[in-house]
A = this chain, B = another copy of it.
Amino acid sequence: MQSNELKDMANANGADVSPLERLVTFLRPDMDAVNAEITARMTSDVPLITNIAKYLISAGGKRLRPLLTLAAARSLDGDMTRAYGLAATVEFIHTATLLHDDVVDASHERRGQAVANDVFGNQASVLVGDFLFSRAFQLMVADGSLETLRILSDASAIIAEGEVLQLQMQRHLETGWEDYLQMIGAKTAALFAAACEVGAVVSAASPDLQKSLHEYGFSLGIAFQMADDLLDYAAEEEKLGKKVGDDFREGKISAPVLLAYAKADAAEKDFWRRTIGRGEQTEDDLAQAQQIMSRHNIIEEGLALAESYAQAAQRSLEPLPASHVKELLHQIAAYVVRRTY
């Protein structure tokens, strides 16, 4: 039995279907339109660009960000044709940052596929990322709204700042919690916020509603990234679709590391300084890191923190008119924290 069939059965039974899957099902015709837009706009006269773009499309991914644009627009009865173009734009910006992030991190697997730079070379990844980024701006210009251009060019600059912040924090165990929040706010939550906000713009929503959707996206993004950081130490590898422990091996400063370091005794501090601070790691160190985290209930502590952002996201939705999509967005905020992928 194919996994898609299993999913369809789960849908039919109404059992074990996540709110995210329900939103995907509800917005399937919209997502199909976005995917068609993505395919149409990713092509280039330069075959290598089209090939890498196709490779990335086949990798798929959750398409969470364009889904947020669609949901925001649907929840406010917006102009869906504009939403399709902008949702594609948001996904292009995200894909460009992934391509550049993969080059930067020298990570080797993402979404369960080899990353593009291993297949096509670092050089092509940088340049195709630049192409997708430029193409995103071409799509925005075609949309013709300076407001969406402002929102997404601001988000793009903030993302780059967040990535540089992350680079600077690498291996620095003394990083403050506020600095960590600033970094994931820039690296991840800014695009979640922008994705939601442009959905409000194409709905000619009031400034207050536009702000509410921005804030929903931002808090959701923080919750999502924090949960992602936790999953890197806690997830089952097959479900995550990437290797557990990547962040550990790269010496990334993330929520579980900062929480564990704050609670560490002298021996544990030495452990973190050696493995994260100086990057001196042996085979058993990841298991050891997980044991230390387990001893201090770090994952549960982190999940509780992430949940507080999910709740903030839910509160931001209050001014929106009641709708099925609003209800699903509400549930998704809780879901992104407790997901196991």
Complex interface: chain B residues within 8 A of A149 (CB): 137, 140-141, 149
A167 within 8 Å of B (CB atoms) = yes
User: Which residues on the B side are within 8 Å of A131 (C-beta)?
Assistant: 157, 160-161, 164
Closest chain B residue, CB of each to CB of A145? B146
> Does A9 touch B at the CB level, under 8 Å?
no
Do B154 and A138 touch (CB < 8 A)?
A: yes
Q: Interface with B: A41-49, A57-65, A69-77, which one?
A: A41-49
**A128 is an interface residue with CB less than 8 A from chain B:** yes
Q: Check A126 for interface membership: any CB of B closer than 8 A.
A: yes
CB distance from A131 to the nearest CB of B (A): 4
Q: How far is the CB of A128 from chain B (nearest CB, A)?
A: 7
Summarize A's interface: helix, strand, loop or mixed: helix
Given A49-B164, A133-B133, decide whether A126 and B100 contact each other with a Cβ distance below 8 A: yes
Tell which of B122, B133, B146, B167 touches A127, judged by Cβ atoms closer than 8 Å.
B167
CB distance from A311 to the nearest CB of B (A): 28
Copy tally for this chain in the complex stands at 2
**Contact of A167 (CB < 8 Å), options: B48, B103, B150, B164:** B48
A44 pairs with B161, CB closer than 8 A: yes
Residue ID in chain B nearest A148 by CB atoms:
B141
User: How close is A95's CB to chain B, nearest CB, in angstroms?
Assistant: 13
Complex formed: what's the CA distance from A44 to B159 in Å? 12
Report yes or no: B123 in contact with A104, Cβ–Cβ below 8 A.
yes
State whether B127 touches A160 (Cβ < 8 A): yes
Query: How far in angstroms is the closest Cβ of chain B from A136?
Result: 9
| A47 nearest in chain B by CB position | B168
Question: Beta-carbon contacts of A102-144 to B below 8 Å, as 1s and 0s?
Answer: 0110000000000000000011101110110111011011001
Contact between chains at A134 and B160 (CB < 8 Å): yes
Kindly list chain B residues whose C-beta atoms are within 8 Å of the C-beta of A153. Answer: 134, 137-138, 140-141
Cross-interface CB contact of A128 among B146, B164, B165, cutoff 8 Å: B164
Q: Does residue A219 face the partner (Cβ distance < 8 Å to B)?
A: no
A258 to chain B, nearest CB (A): 19
A104 closest partner in B (C-beta): B123
Please, what's the 1-or-0 string for A253-267, where 1 marks a CB less than 8 Å from any CB in chain B?
000000000000000
| Bound: A96/B130 CA distance, A | 10
Question: What are 19 pairs between A and B in contact, CB < 8 Å?
Answer: A46-B165, A46-B168, A48-B164, A48-B167, A100-B127, A103-B123, A104-B122, A104-B123, A104-B126, A123-B167, A131-B157, A133-B133, A134-B160, A137-B137, A138-B153, A138-B154, A140-B153, A141-B153, A144-B146
User: What 7 A-B pairs come out closest when comparing CB atoms?
Assistant: A131-B160, A134-B157, A134-B156, A137-B153, A130-B160, A104-B123, A127-B163
Which residues does A use to contact B, with CB under 8 Å? Answer: 44-49, 96-97, 100, 103-104, 122-124, 126-128, 130-131, 133-135, 137-138, 140-141, 144, 146, 149-150, 153-154, 156-157, 159-161, 163-165, 167-168
